[in-house]
A and B are shown apart, each in its own frame.
Chain A
Amino acid sequence: MAALSAARCLVLRTRGGSLLPPPPGPRLRPPQASMSSLSGMSRGRKVALSALGVLAAGGAGLALALHTAVSASDLLLHPPSYAWSHNGLLASLDHDSIRRGYQVYKQVCAACHSMEYLAFRNLIGVSHTEAEAKALAEEVEVVDGPDENGEMFTRPGKLSDYFPKPYPNPEAARAANNGALPPDLSYIISARHGGEDYVFSLLTGYCDPPTGVVMREELHYNPYFPGQAITMAPPIYNEVLEFEDGTPATMSQIAKDVCTFLRWAAEPEHDHRKRMGMKMLIMVGLLVPLIYYLKRHRWSVLKSRKIAYRPPK
Chain B
Amino acid sequence: MPLRSRLYSVFFRRTSAFALTIALGAVVFERAFDQGADAFYERLNRGENCGNTSSTSMRPKKN
A residues in contact (CB < 8 Å) with B? 85, 90-96, 99, 125-129, 132, 244-245, 271-272, 274-275, 278-279, 282-283
Contact = CB atoms under 8 A, between A and B. Distances in A.
A95 B37 contact: no
Contacts of B37: 275, 278-279, 282
Nearest to A279: B37
29 contacts: A85-B48, A90-B45, A92-B41, A92-B48, A92-B56, A94-B48, A95-B57, A96-B48, A96-B50, A99-B58, A125-B57, A125-B58, A127-B58, A128-B58, A128-B61, A129-B58, A244-B63, A245-B61, A245-B63, A271-B55, A271-B56, A272-B56, A274-B41, A278-B40, A278-B41, A279-B33, A279-B34, A279-B37, A283-B33
A93 B63 CA distance: 22
A275 B48 contact: no
Contacts of A125: 57-58
Given A279-B33, A279-B37, A282-B37, A93 B60 contact: no
A275 B58 contact: no
Contacts of A126: 57-58
A96 B49 contact: yes
Interface size class, chain B: 10 to 19
B61 A95 contact: no
B44 interface: yes
A174 to B, nearest CB: 36
Contacts of B60: 129, 132
Nearest to B53: A95
B57 A92 contact: no
A90 to B, nearest CB: 5
Contacts of A283: 33
B58 to A, nearest CB: 6
Contacts of B47: 85
A289 to B, nearest CB: 16
Given A126-B57, A275-B37, A275-B41, 15 more contacts: A85-B48, A90-B44, A91-B44, A91-B48, A94-B49, A95-B56, A125-B58, A128-B58, A132-B60, A245-B63, A275-B38, A278-B40, A279-B33, A282-B37, A283-B33
A131 to B, nearest CB: 8
Complex A-B, nearest 6 residue pairs according to Cβ-Cβ distance, in ascending order: A92-B45, A125-B57, A94-B48, A271-B56, A279-B37, A92-B55
Nearest to A275: B41
Given A245-B61, A279-B33, A95 B41 contact: no
B63 A95 contact: no
Interface in B20-63: 33-34, 37-38, 40-41, 44-45, 47-50, 55-58, 60-61, 63
Contacts of B40: 278
Contacts of B58: 95, 99, 125-129
Contacts of B48: 85, 91-96
B56 A90 contact: no
A95 to B, nearest CB: 6
A95 B33 contact: no
